[in-house]
Amino acid sequence: MIDLYYWNTPNGQKISIALEEFGLRYTTHFVNLGKGDQKSAAYVALNPNGRIPTIVDNDPYDGGAPLAVFESGAILQYLGDKTGKLFPIEARARAEVTGWLMWQMGAVGPMIGQAEHFAHHAPEKIPYAIERYQNETKRLVAILDSRFSHREFVTNELSIADIALYPWALALSKAGVELDNFGYVRSWLSKLGERPAFKRGMALVPPA
Ligand SMILES: N[C@@H](CCC(=O)N[C@@H](CS)C(=O)NCC(=O)O)C(=O)O
């Protein structure tokens, strides 16, 4: 059984989707970001960065003591290795999936996050910052769009890289970037959104 420390934001949703795709049993612990639960000493002991998501695998594949894993990309890789699914072992396929996963972690997530921050949450409107992060986000989405013009998934097969990108692509409009000119990304989103595991992962919300 896996303990999932979660809130329904893109980085959290990557992991709820992955756990559903992998068919792993998990218990959800809602970490209320609005109340600052992610900064509690007990939580920071599991995730030194004080952010969601985190998992604790009570049955890790090395057979040892319960294992805490933080950083959504690292969690996806860990779960892929644990299950032997959606994260190839063969060197070339693995390098490609890892590249797109790191691209999501290092570029797509942070740029959309900053674009949303400066568009909606910054105490003052700074046109330079809004434009800079929205333009960079559009540049990244254009790369994704051209990728999907000739393939179904970001690499040859569905992988943890698609799972990492999906909830962030859904969040684009919050960052002020619309998908009108990115038809291939829209089709990929609707195709993945039909998968029962993606539906269940995205439906995980805190109790009212
Ligand atoms: N690189 C981290 C980023 C995690 C992250 O930024 N999580 C956000 C929610 S999507 C969070 O916990 N925010 C709360 C805060 O900033 O205090 C990961 O991918 O796990």
81 and 97 assigned to the same domain:
no
Q: What is the pLDDT of residue 12?
A: 98
For the domain that residue 26 is a member of, what is the CATH number?
3.40.30.10
Q: What is the pLDDT of residue 115?
A: 97
Whether 61 is in a domain gets the answer yes
CB 72 near ligand 1, within 6 Å: yes
100 and 78 assigned to the same domain:
no
Whether 208 is in a domain gets the answer no
140 and 81 assigned to the same domain:
no
Whether 26 is in a domain gets the answer yes
Which residue has the CA at smallest separation from atom 16 of ligand 1?
A: 51
> What distance in angstroms lies between residue 52's CA and the mean position of ligand 1's atoms?
5
CB 83 near ligand 1, within 6 Å: no
**Token pair of 74 as six digits:** 């690292």
Q: CA distances (Å), 22 to each of 15, 75, 81, 84, 139, in order?
A: 10, 13, 11, 9, 32
> What distance in angstroms lies between residue 122's CA and the mean position of ligand 1's atoms?
17
Q: What is the pLDDT of residue 193?
A: 98
Give the count of domains, the chain: 2
pTM: 0.98
Q: Are 94 and 87 in contact (CB under 8 A)?
A: yes
Which residue has the CA at smallest separation from atom 12 of ligand 1?
A: 51
Q: Which residues of the chain have pLDDT under 70?
A: none
Q: Are 10 and 170 in contact (CB under 8 A)?
A: yes
Atom of ligand 1 nearest to the CA of 31: 12
41 and 76 assigned to the same domain:
yes
Q: Are 2 and 25 in contact (CB under 8 A)?
A: yes
58 and 99 assigned to the same domain:
no
Q: CA distances (Å), 193 to each of 2, 13, 23, 35, 92, in order?
A: 24, 13, 17, 30, 28
- Domain region containing 53: 2-86+197-202
Whether 181 is in a domain gets the answer yes
Rounded CA separation 172/168 (Å): 7
Rounded CA separation 92/82 (Å): 20
Q: What is the pLDDT of residue 18?
A: 98
For the domain that residue 105 is a member of, what is the CATH number?
1.20.1050.10
Atom of ligand 1 nearest to the CA of 9: 10
Q: What is the pLDDT of residue 107?
A: 98
Which residue has the CA at smallest separation from atom 6 of ligand 1?
A: 51
Atom of ligand 1 nearest to the CA of 7: 9
